[in-house]
Structure 1
Amino acid sequence: MRKSPDPTWARLGFSEAPDFTESGKNVGIVIIDKIIPHPAIQHLGYRLKYVTVHDDFSITCRNIALEEPVENDDASGEHGLMTLLALSHKPFVLQGKTHTGIAPAANYFVLNHGAFKIGEGERLKAGIEWILNKQKEWNIRMILSTGWHALDHQVYLKSTRKNSTVQALASAVRSGVLVVCSNGNTRTVNILPPRDYLAVGGYNDRGLAERHNHLPFPDEPYGRNAEGHFRPDVLAPRVYLTVPFCESNKKADVVSYYWGTSGAATLVTGVAAYLMSIFQGLDTTTLRTALTTYGDRIHGYDNLAPRINVTKAKTAIELGQITNQPQEAIRFLRIRHTHIELHSQDDMKRAIALSTLVERQLCSRDLLWQYSFDHSPIVRKVAVWALEKPINEHERKDFWNRLAQESEGGVRGWYAYALLQDARKNEVSQWIPLSTDINWTVRWCVREYLAMFPDFFPQLEPTHDPDSILSKASPLIQWLSDRNG
């Protein structure tokens, strides 16, 4: 970007910057992630606790903000730091604009349970139970889970109630704690969060507060989850989320940019804490209704979730306009006979049935090819993923042809990933044109392909900014044109 982005608070619809000493005050927020000591979090002092569940299920609690910063040569803890800073960083001015955390006065409890390792569900449950024992003392009001899918397969579909994170957080949900989660960063994924969680998707606001500039994010996942419930609930900015510089690779930059629906969910968590600190006793049902009812739809977009608008939601609560409708019975999709549901008129039922058969190793390759032609991209993703990769030259040619014909970004991602498995040097003319694809996975595959032959081909610099895809790919396209010319 040529100029610095607008502050995240302005892009969320705040009428003025959140008060550094009041926004989120006394609200307890649990962040499921890991962090390291860092100068940018030292102002939090005793308001930041770092809870770690170890492999032997022992639990430690540190005042990590009071510890001396450490050298960090990898990105370990970087994601958690950006999350924490987006919520709580001190005010700073950049090109005349004041940036500040969304809920800088809140109390924070970062929970590291050893995610994405065997046994993570049991460790998470132990950590959550330990924290909930102090729920009243710490006023725990919400949990931010940006990686709720845990070790689950992200394409094969099953009930979210079988997810280890969902099971671990069930007691928190029952106790009235609001769980905020990210909805996913790319359409290559099929699984979407449970209805119990406030699921946050993203959009491309280009770093600008003016809402007429906002666009759908081109690779944004949305739709029904395995229980048949539409996700996400709300949308928030997912590009150029500005925080104080905190990256492991040393640069001269004064800021870092947080990206994706992890960042979007973090901002919504901050908004929720802000509103809870203003309206004492605000319950999670009323809060969710305010955020989902008094937002702004993106015109012409079939994603039903609205953009967060803080001023609208706050005004509606002030004026008593929030009416919580009686909870209707939650209806879940039910799969009674897998082989019968494989032919259901319901896309999700077919996808769940196919996922079940694949996981039970009851699907022939011919059947997978048959369902790779299904009219639903949800089903096609399951089939293409299960095919894994071409098994001969004839199939490899078919994969390339299908990739060229496929219009849905998520399915394109899995065709590209399958072709990457045994990619050859002489395929460069087929790979480089994919560097302009809207799907992140497709572009990631191009980058990985080129990285296999660094002495022969130029490299692709990845970008999370949809508006920068063409400019990042341009040198590659020109190189290929010169080579072919």
Structure 2
Amino acid sequence: MRKSPEPTWARLGFSDAPDFTESGKNIGIVIIDTIAPHPAILHLGHRLKYVTVHDDFSVTCQNIALEEPVENEDASGEHGLMTLLALSHKPFAFQGKTHIGIAPAAHYIVLHHGAFRIGEGERLKAGIEWILNKQKEWNIRIILSTGWHALDHQVYLKSTRKNSTVQALASAVRSGVLVVCANGNTRTVNILPPRDYLAVGGYNDRGLAERDNHLPFPDEPYGRNAEGHFRPDVLAPRVYLTIPFCESNKKADVVSYYGGTSGAATLVTGVAAYLLSIFQSLDATTLRIALTTYGDRINGYDNPAPRINVTQAKAAIESGLITNQPQEALPALQIRHTHMELHSQDDMKRAVALSTLVERELCSRDLLWQYSCDNSPVVRKIAVSALGKPINEYERQEFWNRLAQESEGGVRGWYAYGLLQDARKNEGSQWIPLSTDINWTVRWCVSDYLAMFPDFFPQLETTHDPDSILSKATPLIQWLSGQDG
């Protein structure tokens, strides 16, 4: 960043900074994540509950804001802490600008259910049921799930109804709770959230509130999910989201920067809580319509999801422009005969059918190579990820050839990952030019490749900021040019 980012509230379209004592007041927000005690959350006091579901399905609840901070060498709870702070942090001035959480007056329940471990779905269901028993007392209106995909394979497709998180949150959705989720950080993945959730993608606002400066994020996933429904619903900033410094590594920094679609979804959660606290009779469906209808498209972008614009959404609600109508029932894709659907004209039917055969180990390598040439990038990702790594010299060269020819970033990510397996020291001249690739999986593969041979190659500092990709890669490119000379 050449200049300090503007406050997140300004970048979301607020006309003024959220009121510290009013924004989100009395709205209960459940955050599915982990946190650790930290001085920056002390002000939340009894408004923050930390609910833990243990392996024996017992549930405990603690006032973690009031506990003494402990040394946190492994950064556990850092993601959840950043999420909580983006929503609730106290106002502070940084380089002449006032930053504040989007919904600092809300009540927060952080739910730790042992995510990404066997049995996570059952534990999550137990935790949600425990919390919903207090729905009225805590006025639970929003659940934020940044890792809704859980242990599911992130490339192979199946109905989202089969996902353990979706099953665990079904009762909350039925009870009128708004579930906000992150849409995904990179096109390398395929699975996209169910239509029941307010799915939040991101864009590159360069830390600026002025909307003419906003750009699409170059590796942003969007498209149809396994049911055939377009995702995401809305977009929010995903770079340089400024919060009080809270990282475990010892630095003298004044601020930390949150990011990704986890950060974007967190900001939208805050906006939802802000609006719910103003319009107390507002229901989740009407709120969704306001946010998705009264946003701003990014000019020239083929992703139709709009950017959140708080001022426009609030004005539409105030003016009664939004009719309270149930969400339109869209039919979901039906996969009746897997082998027949492999030849469907609908690319998502082909993708689900191919995923099913791969997971049942009914796909030959020849068939995977055949579908690696499919006209749909969603299908190609499934085929290339299932191929894994090249199994002989011919395949290795073919992976390199395909990587050079492939234009879709997510498919490029899987070719790069395959080539990273059994990578060789003499391939540096092929890897280093990929350090400017727009797909972050490709760049991370370059970084991992160089780290295999630290005494021979300079290293690549990875970045999530599209505007910094070239500057991080330039020393490497120059080094390679010197070697060639």
Q: Quick check: TM above 0.5?
A: yes
SS of residue in 2 equivalent to 1:385: helix
- Correspondence 1:15 to 2:12: no
Counterpart-to-counterpart distance in 2, 1:388 and 1:481: 31
The one-letter amino acid paired with 1:136 is K
**CA-to-aligned-CA distance 1:212-257 (integer Å, 9 cap, x gap):** 0000000000000000000000000000000000111111110000
- Correspondence 1:230 to 2:230: yes
Once the 2 structures are TM-superposed, how far is the Cα of residue 401 of structure 1 from its aligned partner?
A: 0.3
The one-letter amino acid paired with 1:56 is D
The one-letter amino acid paired with 2:150 is A
Matches within 5 A, 1:313-462: 313-462=313-462
Q: Which residue of 2 aligns with 1:99?
A: 99
Moved more, 367-376 or 451-460: 451-460
Counterpart-to-counterpart distance in 2, 1:385 and 1:14: 42
Counterpart-to-counterpart distance in 2, 1:137 and 1:31: 17
Q: Which residue of 2 aligns with 1:151?
A: 151
Once the 2 structures are TM-superposed, how far is the Cα of residue 328 of structure 1 from its aligned partner?
A: 3.5
Q: 1:222–1:350: structure 2 CA closer, same or farther, 3 Å change rule?
A: same
**CA-to-aligned-CA distance 1:102-154 (integer Å, 9 cap, x gap):** 00000000000000000000000000000000000000001000000000000
Q: Which residue of 2 aligns with 1:89?
A: 89
Q: Which residue of 2 aligns with 1:80?
A: 80
Runs of at least 4 residues of structure 1 off by over 4 A? none
Once the 2 structures are TM-superposed, how far is the Cα of residue 58 of structure 1 from its aligned partner?
A: 1.1
Q: Give the share of equivalent positions with the same residue, in percent.
A: 88
**CA-to-aligned-CA distance 1:432-471 (integer Å, 9 cap, x gap):** 0000000010001001111111111111111010000000
- Correspondence 1:168 to 2:152: no
Q: 1:128–1:326: structure 2 CA closer, same or farther, 3 Å change rule?
A: closer
Q: Which residue of 1 aligns with 2:59?
A: 59
Once the 2 structures are TM-superposed, how far is the Cα of residue 326 of structure 1 from its aligned partner?
A: 4.9
Counterpart-to-counterpart distance in 2, 1:481 and 1:69: 49
Once the 2 structures are TM-superposed, how far is the Cα of residue 352 of structure 1 from its aligned partner?
A: 0.5
Counterpart-to-counterpart distance in 2, 1:336 and 1:57: 37
SS of residue in 1 equivalent to 2:404: helix
Contact 2:222–2:230 under 8 Å retained in 1:
yes
Matches within 5 A, 1:242-261: 242-261=242-261
- Correspondence 1:41 to 2:41: yes
The one-letter amino acid paired with 2:153 is H
Counterpart-to-counterpart distance in 2, 1:472 and 1:337: 48
Contact 2:285–2:326 under 8 Å retained in 1:
no
Counterpart-to-counterpart distance in 2, 1:387 and 1:31: 37
Counterpart-to-counterpart distance in 1, 2:324 and 2:367: 47
Once the 2 structures are TM-superposed, how far is the Cα of residue 56 of structure 1 from its aligned partner?
A: 1.2
Q: 1:143–1:70: structure 2 CA closer, same or farther, 3 Å change rule?
A: same
The one-letter amino acid paired with 2:346 is D
Once the 2 structures are TM-superposed, how far is the Cα of residue 75 of structure 1 from its aligned partner?
A: 1.6
- Correspondence 1:271 to 2:271: yes
Once the 2 structures are TM-superposed, how far is the Cα of residue 3 of structure 1 from its aligned partner?
A: 1.7
Counterpart-to-counterpart distance in 2, 1:252 and 1:74: 19
Counterpart-to-counterpart distance in 1, 2:295 and 2:211: 12
Q: Which residue of 2 aligns with 1:204?
A: 204
Residue segments in structure 1 that go unaligned for 5+ positions in a row: none
Count of residues in Structure 1 that have an aligned counterpart in Structure 2 = 485
The one-letter amino acid paired with 1:139 is N
Once the 2 structures are TM-superposed, how far is the Cα of residue 329 of structure 1 from its aligned partner?
A: 3.0
The one-letter amino acid paired with 1:389 is K
Q: Which residue of 1 aligns with 2:292?
A: 292
The one-letter amino acid paired with 1:265 is A
The one-letter amino acid paired with 1:46 is H
Q: 1:58–1:325: structure 2 CA closer, same or farther, 3 Å change rule?
A: closer
Counterpart-to-counterpart distance in 2, 1:77 and 1:231: 28
Matches within 5 A, 1:293-308: 293-308=293-308
Counterpart-to-counterpart distance in 2, 1:431 and 1:258: 29
Once the 2 structures are TM-superposed, how far is the Cα of residue 325 of structure 1 from its aligned partner?
A: 4.3
Contact 2:182–2:265 under 8 Å retained in 1:
yes
Counterpart-to-counterpart distance in 1, 2:329 and 2:132: 28
The one-letter amino acid paired with 1:173 is V
- Correspondence 1:239 to 2:244: no
SS of residue in 2 equivalent to 1:203: strand
The one-letter amino acid paired with 1:459 is Q
SS of residue in 1 equivalent to 2:462: coil
Once the 2 structures are TM-superposed, how far is the Cα of residue 2 of structure 1 from its aligned partner?
A: 2.2
SS of residue in 2 equivalent to 1:167: helix
The one-letter amino acid paired with 2:365 is R
SS of residue in 2 equivalent to 1:262: helix
Counterpart-to-counterpart distance in 1, 2:174 and 2:324: 18
